[in-house]
Amino acid sequence: MLKSQFTGETMIFKSEYKGNVYYSTSIGKKNMEGKYDNGYIDVKFKKNVELENKTKINIENAWLTFYQTLDSFGKVTKTVWQIFVNEFEEVGNEEMSDSFQALNSEIPF
């Protein structure tokens, strides 16, 4: 059996469709011309996890999983890969320090 485990920092994108919330992250690779191609992969979390769009997280424990769509006869039509995030922490959401807030309020624009 092939096992996968994911850790590290990534940005989570949130979208909503017909009242349901979906999350994804991006992956990239350099192509033959030296430019980057980007793709997206679905991300699932434990129940009751809610994140804002473009939230940066540090994944501590996650693995690769999938779901399949079926046609009206019960035949599999598509397999969709997902990363299931079991443990994570949000990154970069610290409050601004008082000195930075004071400096920021002095800037005229």
Does the residue 54 lie in any domain?
Answer: yes
For residue 71, the enclosing domain spans: 6-106
Q: Is residue 63 part of a domain?
A: yes
pLDDT in tens, 16-35: 999 999 999 999 999 999 99
Integer Cα distance of 54 and 108 in angstroms:
28
* pLDDT, tens digit, 9 for 90 and up, residues 66-95: 999 999 999 999 999 999 999 999 997 554
Q: How many CB atoms lie within 10 A of CB 50?
A: 9
Whether residue 47 lies inside any domain: the answer is: yes
Residue 59 domain flag: yes
The better pLDDT of the pair 106, 29 is held by 29
Q: Is residue 1 domain-resident?
A: no
Pairing mode of beta strands 36-45, 76-90: parallel
pLDDT at 97 over 80: no
The answer to the question of residue 24 being in a domain is yes
Find the CATH number of the domain harbouring 57: 2.40.50
Q: Let me know if residue 33 belongs to a domain.
A: yes
Gyration radius from the chain CA atoms: 19
Asked if the model's pLDDT at residue 51 lies above 80, the reply is yes
